[in-house]
Amino acid sequence: MNICLVSREYPTDDHVGGIGTYTEKTARALASLGLTVDVITEARAEPSTRVEDGVTVHRLRPTRARLLRALVRSRAVAREIESLPEPPDIVQACEFRAEAFWYSFRKPARTKLVTRLATPSFLVRKLNGRSARLSALRHAYIDWPERIQTARSDGIISITHALARVVCDTWGLPETRMAVVKTGVDFSRRYAGRSTALPAELSGCEYLLFFGRLEERKGVHILAQAMPDILAAHPQLHIVFAGNSVLFNGEPMQSFVERCNLAFIDRLHFFQRLPHEALHSLLANALFAVLPSLWEGMGNVSLEALDMGKAVVATRHSGFEEVIEDERSGLLVEPSDVAELKGAILALLDDRALLHRLSVGARSRAETFELTRVTRDLIAFYQSLLTAPGQRRHGVTDLRDQSAEVLGDQYVGTARSQRM
């Protein structure tokens, strides 16, 4: 089976977004199982084609167009797919930025196009409401190709039931077209022998770790408001933020965090976008991870924390509930609730026996998402498309008999999913 994965970001060229992270580990796992895998990505500088871990990685010239960037990029992707020596059996791309939009109109009948839901632009904008103001025209330009690519796909997979429900509700897609396939993880094993040294300023310190973009939808502003009481109660505790800072109410989110915690500024540590080797050492030495997103489709970061045996404080009513088992591998709190977030963090800091139990549970939970096992489920889904379109086979579930909640005009519910 020939597989072509599309992702503008790819970690081996110093990109570290969630879509790129997923693409790299999935491509590598597919190749290890004997499939022919091509990845179409974007170069940081000069275009190239080379084999990495059994995967042929095609780096296209960066797209310079600004206004029509998504369409220009999708056209370049389509041309590169068409130039492959053998037409792929499966082309898979995420809906975000609609990189397979152009190809969806040109693909041969024998090739099946799969769209994997990550986080559609409409949801990113909604969750970053105070920070992402777009005109109606700009909104439509971004949303339309994502929706069209997804609708024209032969198969649609989602990382969680929660995200699938949101997309079905918003784009009017029938639930029977969706399949939920877990995302795999091998972070601990992959980087164990390549981990870089812990930054000197953290040597010998106890610290909590937030990692991901510092933006509104990740709930960083909620954590910032919970921190003063936590840091006051634990004078030796430090808090680490690993990720790029995004504007929040007209200022970098890092500035907002610092302004909320001026009395403790010497115990705050910020690291810009890090390679996985550096992130591995930060996770390995953290007490636990704090991921207070307003809503999350799933979050690669939650899998990486669990895989490192780190308990996670995260939020309810989103894909986190399908990854983190409350009071078994972490603690779940209400999104946007400063007091409850503070209480959960203090509970783990004050009860080290509880923290140890949840940390053991975290590592056990990560085994459910073991990369090779999950990749075999993905292959089974591909095979179902190639042999009997619409059929769902072993390891893949559809959304029927799942329920969700809608509160006001913002979807904040999640499927009350089965334990995976």
Q: Is residue 405 part of a domain?
A: no
Domain count across the chain = 2
What's the pLDDT at 66? 61
What's the pLDDT at 136? 57
Q: Is residue 152 part of a domain?
A: yes
Q: Is residue 269 part of a domain?
A: yes
Q: Are residues 217 and 362 in the same domain?
A: yes
- Residue-by-residue DSSP string for 312-333: EEEESSSGGGGTS-BTTTEEEE
Q: Give dist(CA 172, CA 175) in Å, integer.
A: 9
CA distances in angstroms from 388 to 12, 20, 117, 187, 366, listed in the order given: 36, 30, 22, 34, 32
Q: What is the pTM of this model?
A: 0.88
What's the pLDDT at 313? 98
What's the pLDDT at 325? 97
What's the pLDDT at 13? 75
Q: Which domain holds residue 292?
A: 187-368
Q: Are residues 133 and 20 in the same domain?
A: yes
Q: Are residues 150 and 127 in the same domain?
A: yes
Q: Are residues 128 and 85 in the same domain?
A: yes
Q: Give dist(CA 165, CA 159) in Å, integer.
A: 11
Work out the number of other CB atoms within 10 angstroms of the CB of residue 63: 18
Q: Are residues 77 and 193 in the same domain?
A: no
Q: Which has the closest alpha carbon to 297: 161, 397, 173? A: 161
Q: Give dist(CA 238, CA 224) in Å, integer.
A: 13
What's the pLDDT at 69? 81
Q: Which has the closest alpha carbon to 185: 284, 383, 323? A: 323
Q: Which has the closest alpha carbon to 368: 182, 192, 118? A: 182
Q: Is residue 54 part of a domain?
A: yes
Cβ–Cβ < 8 Å for 112, 25? no
Q: Is residue 40 part of a domain?
A: yes
Residue appearing with tokens 């619409």 = 390
Q: Are residues 18 and 157 in the same domain?
A: yes
192-213 burial, b for 16+ CB within 10 Å, e for fewer? eeebeeeeeebeebebbbbbbb
Q: Which has the closest alpha carbon to 243: 205, 217, 204, 206? A: 217
In this prediction, the residues of the chain whose per-residue pLDDT falls under 50 are 390-420
For 334-380, the pLDDT digits (tens) are 999 999 999 999 999 999 999 999 999 999 999 999 999 999 999 99
Q: Are residues 157 and 196 in the same domain?
A: no
Q: Are residues 57 and 72 in the same domain?
A: yes
Q: Give dist(CA 24, CA 389) in Å, integer.
A: 27
CA distances in angstroms from 349 to 225, 242, 266, 286, 354, listed in the order given: 18, 21, 20, 12, 9
Q: Are residues 24 and 146 in the same domain?
A: yes
Q: Give dist(CA 104, CA 392) in Å, integer.
A: 22
What's the pLDDT at 132? 52
Structure tokens at 351: 């009860």
Q: Is residue 404 part of a domain?
A: no
Q: Are residues 246 and 335 in the same domain?
A: yes
Task: Write phi, then psi, for 148 (nearest 5 degrees).
Answer: -65, -45
CATH number reported for the structural domain that contains residue 273 in this entry: 3.40.50.2000
Element (H, E) at 211: strand 206-211
What's the pLDDT at 208? 98
Q: Are residues 113 and 253 in the same domain?
A: no
Longest dimension (CA), the chain: 64
Q: Are residues 243 and 168 in the same domain?
A: no
Structure tokens at 207: 């610290």
Q: Is residue 402 part of a domain?
A: no
Q: Is residue 392 part of a domain?
A: no
Structure tokens at 295: 């809503």
